[in-house]
Every structure is written in structure tokens, then in C-alpha cells.
């Protein structure tokens, strides 16, 4: 779309249309942004006061004045002597001398009655009147302005063509944060006031600004028409939802940091994320190539899950996540939904991915979703809404991503969260962004999102009893089929959120039970950790006779129903507790201890140690 240089937003066109009908206008919403205006054949971005000045100048307004709480009056345009007669203020003053609301009402009355030419008054930062003035002064001011809105009459300017006079009001413009910042009685049933919401820039306004600022970026004119159009499309599509001032600021950043227009996407990413380095591009190719081997060394016996995770990492390295849906997708780098039995390595896989990418297994952000079982617990994630306690603090999730957008974000046991909490994932998984309670937007486009779940492990019988839905005796294909069906049932029918399941897509990975061969490897790793700690901290070495080690291993790995965590718990009971008792009975450890046997008595396990 080629923007028109004379394009005006809807609220500006309404002002022009109602200047002969309405005496006061209430502008609220996105009033602190910039707006495109045609000046001398070129498009410039102007603040609200300057934009209104240019808008009304085209309608023959000769005088524009501005009142700001605690700063008083200033002249925006027009005859300075005329302004002095009306307001009693010098036209060359910088507007930094406060005046009372009583005087403000006097000046407003004189401006609306001015017969020397069309005049207008802008009440800037009007939402702050309630904070900065006493109640009695405010009430008197609002009453006088209310009466003024009703009693004002449209006037003909002496400069108008006598054959076609234009009776227009000398309007007052209230610039507000919200419509209800004025007392309700002020606007209720007042046909002389027009309340106009000022929204975020629409597509045509964004086009106007982008067309205006892009030629100032280096390399713009050197591109051929196709490349230029493609990068303009990137600029437009990736700034959806941003303010006009932010769109212009991206161009300014590109100029300051010498980013050519051919890489405008990098400038947008830097602006959104607030950083220059792209951690994904810095990943060594060897790390990504060997991702599967590395993850398999950390997560034992889960080859299917590891293969899927490594594919996501390789895809993310080349920014292909979501590329099938849009050339400029802002979806997260990767999405994983890890399901299966407890203690089989789901959380460990998230830690391993974090270590592979960022060099440390603790660099991930974890949320235990059992803590979000109540509907209003989402305020912990995104922050309390305006007016509520904690509004100024922000949310745990939005704060964490704003501080470090390059993260692995783990949502543990997602099925335990309230269904309303899950709705926030619609925006994260589809658009890669989330708005906090304070209205700030954070971006997940550089993050890996990992969900874990125990869905499908149990089912409820018709009698209300809970029974196993999958068992270790089942082959993996049957386990994956049963758990997948349970996940479908949960999202589609139990919580009525099929759209979340649709956004997760084929990224559901079902973990297998810990099989005996895998349990032995886990045992060896855990035992090695224990022996290393004793040797490293206390210089205590422990050796095993072959038969004793075999018995310990069999006892520890006898029950695999609780997965790797169960093996760790069994090791504490079978080996670590009796070993600790034996160590406390000794005072010298000059020679290695030798475990020669083990036995189970009524009071527990015991070791035979020399």
C-alpha cells in the first residue's frame, strides 16, 4: 500500500467535521505519541500540540494557545499581541510560570469569546489536574469549563470570505490519559463535548511514517526497488502494535548504530529486546551439530525426546521457527511439550537445553504451575492491573523476559494451572509477545518455551477410583498413543482450550518409562556423584567388592515406578544412609573403605565395610 501524504487519522477528521458543532473536544488514549502531517510536501512526525496546530491552521485558526498544569500558558502560534491582550501573558515566555485554575478558566473564557479571529486552547496533561490542585479549586474550574462548553457559540472570523462565512467554535481541547479522568457529570449528556479516542497507529499511519523515515537510513537509496519493497514490508510487519514514536525511533537507532536499511529487521530486534548481541547467531556450529549427543548424555533412555529437541534447536539456529506461516514470524524460537511419567527426565531435558545454548544449566526461568491453580494467579505472571496492589512491581514472567529475552522458559506441570491462566499462552505461542499489567510489551521471539505435564498417566474408573492409564509393561508406541489421546481430551473437552493445543502443534514429546538398562546407567551416574563428593570434600575413598555392588544395584533399581527420582530416593535408603552411619563410627580414613556386603534387617539396610 502506498500511503497518502495528506492522510489524517479518523479522530483528526472528526475534529475538522465538528468544529462548527462542538465547543470542546476530549482526546484520550494514545495522546503522547507522534502523528504524521504533510509539511511543504514532505511527511513530518509531530506531537499532539503541534499536530493540532497544523490541523487547525488549515481551517483558518489564527491563534493557538496551550495551558499546562504547574507550567501555565504558552503561545503555540498566532499574534503575540493578541495573545497578551487575552491572557495577560507575554507571548515570548517559555510557559514555565504556573498559574491558578481560576486564571486558566478566565483565559479559556476570553479565548472562546475572541472575535478577532478563530482561536483554540489546548489543555495539555489535563489528567494531572486532579493530582496537582486542591479539590475546591478543581471543582470550580470544572464547573466553569462545563458552563463554558454549553454557553459558547460558533463565530465568524473577520478574515472569512463575507460571501461564504464559516461560523466555527473557538474550541477547547482536553488532552487526557483516559476518558473518565474528567468527572462523570462533565461529559454526561453534554452534547457540546465530543470525546474522541486516539488509538495506536493503524496500518496507513505506520506506512506514512515508515515511508518518511526510511530514506534517512543508510543504504536505502542503493537498494533496487524489489529489495527496498521487501525491507519496507519487514519494517511494517515487524512493528505491528508499536507506537508511531517507536517506529520513528527504530530509524533513528539504525542511523546512530550504522545499521543499513537492508538489515532493518536487526534494528527492530535491537529496539524491541534492548540488546545488540544475538545469542542464537553466536552459537558455535559444533554445538548445534552435536546437540543430540550432548542431550543424550544428560537425559538417559529418552532418544525420541532428545531427537525432537535437537531438531528444534537446529531449526531455531537458522530462524525457521514459524517461517511456514509468515516470512517475518515472531513466534518463540522453539516450543516443547514434554509429557510422560514422573522422574524420567523432562525437567532435566530443559536444563540440558539451557546448558547447551547458554553454557549453564541454571540459566532457565522456571514456573511451578501448581502455584497458579487460582484464576487470579495470572497477576503473578503479568502483574496486577492498574489500581490494584502491586501494579508498579510488574509480573514475574514479563519482568524476567524483559531482563533476559534469550531464555529457556519452563512451565512445570502445566495441567495444574487454572484454565484462565493458560489463555496467556495463546499470545505467547502465536505472536511471541505478551503485555504486562502495566501495558508494557515483552517479546518471546528469542526464547524456547518448554511445558512439562503428567497428563495421561492415570485415568478415573466409572466408580471414581484412580488407576494407571499406562504401565511400564506397555511398549513405547502404546504409551505415546495413550498419553497423546489424554492430552487431546484434556485441552479439547476438559478445559475447552483446543486453540492452545493447536498452537503447540506437533511439538508434544512423550517420554518413556525408565527401563532396566537405563536405570543401571542412572545408578552408575548417581553413585559416581556420591563417591566424588566424599573424595573431593573429605578425601574418603570407597571401593566395592563385585558381589556387594551387584546387590546394592539390584536393591536400588528394584522399583522403577518413580523414575530417576525414585532411584535417587532408593539410593539414599539402601546405600547412603547405612554408609553415613558407618562413616560416623570411624575417626580415621587413611585407607580406602571397602564395601564387602549388604543386608536388610527389620530396622533397615546395613552395609559390611572394612
Indicate the residue among 198, 225, 255 that finishes a domain.
198
Whether residue 328 is found in the same domain as residue 457: yes
Residue range 249-261, pLDDT digits in tens? 999 999 999 999 9
Q: Which residues contact 113 (CB under 8 A, 6 or more apart)?
A: 152, 170
Residue 215 is predicted with a pLDDT of 93
Answer yes or no: is pLDDT of 276 > 70: no
pLDDT band at 119 (very low <50, low <70, confident <90, very high): very high
The neighbouring-strand residues paired with 26 are: 174, 195
Distance of CA 228 to the CA centre of its chain: 30
Average pLDDT over residues 527-531: 94
Quote the pLDDT of residue 278.
66
Whether the per-residue pLDDT at 3 is higher than 50: the answer is no
Query: Do residues 352 and 434 both lie within one domain?
Result: yes
**In 3D, which of 72, 174, 181, 183 has the Cα closest to residue 120?**
174
pLDDT in tens, 468-510: 888 888 898 899 999 999 999 999 999 999 999 999 988 898 9
- The whole-number pLDDT of residue 258 equals 92
- 76 domain residue, yes or no: yes
Give the pLDDT score at 47: 94
CA distances from 23 to 20, 106, 171, 278, 566 (A): 8, 16, 5, 53, 76
- DSSP string over 532-580: HHHHHHH---EEE-HHHHHHHHHHHTS--TTHHHHHHHHHIIIIIHHHH
- Identify whether 4 is part of a domain: no
Rounded (10°) CA dihedral 369, 375, 381, 387: -160
Structural domain count, the chain: 4
CA 107/CA 246 separation, integer angstroms? 35
Domain that holds residue 542: 516-609
Residues in Cβ contact with 136 at an 8 Å cutoff, skipping those fewer than 6 apart: none
Q: pTM above 0.75?
A: no
Q: What is the mean pLDDT of the chain?
A: 87
Q: C-alpha angle with apex 540: 535 to 545, nearest 5 degrees?
A: 105
Asked if residue 110 and residue 44 are part of one domain, the reply reads: yes
The residue with greater pLDDT, 548 or 587, is 548
Three-state DSSP class for residue 52: helix
What b/e string do you get for 82-120 counting C-beta neighbours within 10 Å, with b at 16 or more? bbeebbebebeeebeeebebebbbbbbbbbbebebbbbb
Nearest one of 535, 77, 120, 512 to 304, comparing CA atoms? 512
pLDDT tens per residue across span 550-582: 999 999 998 888 888 899 999 999 999 999 988
Q: Do residue 269 and residue 302 come from a single domain?
A: no
The band of 12, judged by pLDDT with boundaries at 50, 70 and 90, is very high
- Final residue before a domain boundary, out of 510, 543, 559: 510
pLDDT at 409 over 90: yes
- If asked whether residues 162 and 107 sit together in one domain, one would say yes
> Does 280 reside within a domain?
no
pLDDT for position 441: 86
Over residues 31-73, the pLDDT tens digits come to: 999 999 887 778 888 999 999 999 999 888 989 999 998 888 8
| Segment 78-111, tens digit of pLDDT | 888 888 887 776 655 555 577 889 999 999 999 9
Query: 503 with 468, same domain?
Result: yes
Task: Give the CATH number of the domain where residue 316 resides.
Answer: 3.40.50.300
The predicted structure's pLDDT at residue 449: 92
> CATH no. for residue 603?
1.10.8.60
Residues 438, 332, single domain; the answer is: yes
Inter-axis angle of helices 546-556 and 563-571, to 10 degrees? 130
Q: What is the pLDDT of residue 467?
A: 82
- Count the helices and strands in the chain (H runs, E runs): 25, 20
499 shares a domain with 406: yes
Residue 352 lies in a domain: yes
How many whole angstroms separate alpha carbon 357 and alpha carbon 424? 26
Interaxial angle between packed helices 346-358 and 303-317, expressed in degrees from 0 to 180 and rounded to the nearest 10: 30
User: 42-46 and 35-39 as β-strands: parallel, antiparallel, unpaired?
Assistant: antiparallel
Same structural domain, 370 and 437: yes
CATH of residue 192: 3.40.50
Give the bridge partners for 44, in sequence order.
37
The dihedral through the CA atoms of 572, 576, 577, 580 has a sign that is: negative
The label of the residue with cell 495413550 reads 482
The predicted structure's pLDDT at residue 1: 42
pLDDT at 5 over 60: no
Q: Are residues 327 and 358 in the same domain?
A: yes
- DSSP labels, 318-384: TT-TTTTT-TT----SEEEEEESSTTSSHHHHHHHHHHHHHS-TT-SEEEEGGGG-SGGGHHHHH-P
Rg (CA), the chain: 34
Same domain? For 386 and 309 the reply is yes
User: What pLDDT sits at residue 81?
Assistant: 83
Residue 432 lies in a domain: yes
Instruction: Find cell 517559555 and name the residue.
Output: 94
Q: How far is residue 340's CA from residue 317's CA, in Å, rounded to a whole number?
A: 27
Boundary residue ending a domain (140, 165, 198)? 198
Task: Examine the pLDDT at 360 and tell me if it is beyond 80.
Answer: no
pLDDT tens column, 158-183: 776 666 678 999 999 999 999 889 99
In a domain, 2, yes or no: no
| Spatial distance between the Cα atoms of 188 and 177, rounded to a whole number of angstroms | 18
189: left (phi over 0), alpha (psi -120 to 50) or beta: left
Nearest one of 526, 543, 455 to 495, comparing CA atoms: 455
By percentage, how much of the chain surpasses pLDDT 70?
A: 91
pLDDT of residue 2 exceeding 50: no
One domain for residues 553 and 605? yes
Residue 3: inside a domain, yes or no?
Answer: no
Residue at 462 is within a domain: yes
Section 431-452 average pLDDT: 87
Pairing of strands 334-339, 448-453: parallel
Amino acid at each position: 500500500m502506498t500511503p497518502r501524504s495528506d492522510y489524517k487519522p479518523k479522530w483528526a477528521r472528526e475534529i475538522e467535521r465538528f468544529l462548527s458543532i462542538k465547543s470542546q473536544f476530549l482526546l484520550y488514549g494514545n495522546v503522547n505519541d507522534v502523528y504524521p502531517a504533510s509539511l511543504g510536501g514532505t511527511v513530518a512526525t509531530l506531537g499532539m500540540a503541534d499536530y493540532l496546530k497544523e490541523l487547525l491552521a488549515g481551517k483558518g485558526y489564527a491563534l493557538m494557545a496551550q495551558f499546562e498544569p504547574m507550567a501555565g500558558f504558552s503561545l503555540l502560534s498566532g499574534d503575540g499581541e493578541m495573545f497578551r491582550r487575552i491572557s495577560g501573558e507575554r507571548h515570548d515566555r517559555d510557559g514555565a510560570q504556573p498559574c491558578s485554575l481560576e486564571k486558566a478558566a478566565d483565559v479559556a473564557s476570553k479565548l472562546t469569546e475572541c472575535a478577532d479571529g478563530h482561536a483554540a486552547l489546548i489543555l495539555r496533561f489535563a489528567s494531572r489536574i486532579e493530582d496537582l490542585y486542591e479539590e475546591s479549586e478543581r471543582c470550580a474550574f470544572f464547573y466553569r469549563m462545563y458552563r463554558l462548553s454549553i454557553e459558547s457559540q460558533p463565530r465568524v472570523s473577520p478574515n472569512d470570505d463575507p460571501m461564504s462565512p464559516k461560523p466555527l467554535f473557538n474550541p477547547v481541547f482536553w488532552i487526557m490519559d483516559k476518558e473518565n479522568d474528567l468527572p462523570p457529570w462533565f461529559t454526561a449528556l453534554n452534547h457540546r463535548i465530543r470525546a474522541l479516542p486516539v488509538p495506536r497507529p493503524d496500518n496507513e499511519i505506520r506506512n506514512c511514517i515508515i515511508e518518511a523515515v526510511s530514506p534517512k537510513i543508510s543504504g536505502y537509496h542503493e537498494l533496487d526497488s524489489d529489495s527496498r519493497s521487501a525491507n519496507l514490508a519487514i519494517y511494517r510487519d515487524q512493528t505491528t502494535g508499536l507506537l508511531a514514536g517507536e517506529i520513528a525511533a527504530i530509524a533513528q537507532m539504525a542511523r546512530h548504530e550504522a545499521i543499513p536499511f537492508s538489515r532493518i529487521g536487526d534494528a527492530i530486534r535491537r529496539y524491541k529486546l534492548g540488546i545488540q548481541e544475538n545469542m542464537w547467531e553466536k552459537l558455535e556450529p559444533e554445538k548445534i551439530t552435536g546437540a543430540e549427543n550432548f542431550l543424550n548424555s544428560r537425559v538417559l533412555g529418552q532418544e525420541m525426546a532428545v531427537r525432537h529437541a535437537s531438531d528444534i534447536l537446529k531449526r531455531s539456529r537458522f530462524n525457521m521457527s514459524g517461517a511456514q506461516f509468515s516470512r517475518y514470524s515472531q513466534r518463540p524460537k522453539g516450543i516443547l511439550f514434554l509429557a510422560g511419567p514422573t522422574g524420567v527426565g523432562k525437567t532435566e531435558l530443559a536444563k540440558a537445553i539451557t546448558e547447551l545454548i547458554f553454557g549453564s544449566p541454571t540459566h532457565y526461568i522456571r514456573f511451578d504451575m501448581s502455584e497458579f491453580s487460582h484464576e487470579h494467579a495470572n497477576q503473578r505472571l503479568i502483574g496486577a492491573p492498574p489500581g490494584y496492589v502491586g501494579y508498579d512491581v510488574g509480573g514475574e514472567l514479563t519482568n524476567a523476559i524483559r531482563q533476559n529475552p534469550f531464555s529457556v522458559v519452563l512451565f512445570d506441570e502445566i495441567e495444574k494451572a487454572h484454565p484462565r491462566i493458560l489463555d496467556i499462552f495463546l499470545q505467547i505461542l502465536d505472536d511471541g509477545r505478551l503485555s504486562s499489567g502495566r501495558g508494557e510489551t515483552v517479546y518471546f521471539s528469542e526464547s524456547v518455551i518448554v511445558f512439562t505435564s503428567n497428563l495421561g498417566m492415570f485415568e478415573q474408573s466409572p466408580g471414581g477410583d484412580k488407576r494407571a492409564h499406562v504401565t511400564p509393561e506397555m511398549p513405547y508406541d502404546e504409551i505415546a498413543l495413550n498419553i497423546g489421546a489424554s492430552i487431546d481430551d484434556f485441552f479439547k473437552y476438559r478445559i475447552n482450550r483446543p486453540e492452545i493445543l493447536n498452537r503447540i502443534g506437533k511439538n508434544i514429546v512423550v517420554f518413556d518409562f525408565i527401563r532396566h538398562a537405563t536405570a543401571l546407567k542412572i545408578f552408575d551416574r548417581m553413585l559416581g556423584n556420591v563417591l566424588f563428593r566424599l573424595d573431593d570434600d573429605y578425601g574418603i575413598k570407597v571401593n566395592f567388592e563385585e558381589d556387594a555392588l551387584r546387590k546394592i544395584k539390584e536393591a536400588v533399581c528394584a522399583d522403577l515406578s518413580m523414575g530417576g527420582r525414585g532411584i535417587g530416593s532408593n539410593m539414599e535408603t539402601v546405600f547412603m544412609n547405612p554408609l553415613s552411619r558407618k562413616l560416623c563410627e570411624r575417626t580415621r580414613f587413611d585407607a580406602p573403605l571397602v564395601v564387602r556386603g549388604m543386608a536388610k534387617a527389620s530396622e533397615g539396610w546395613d552395609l559390611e565395610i572394612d
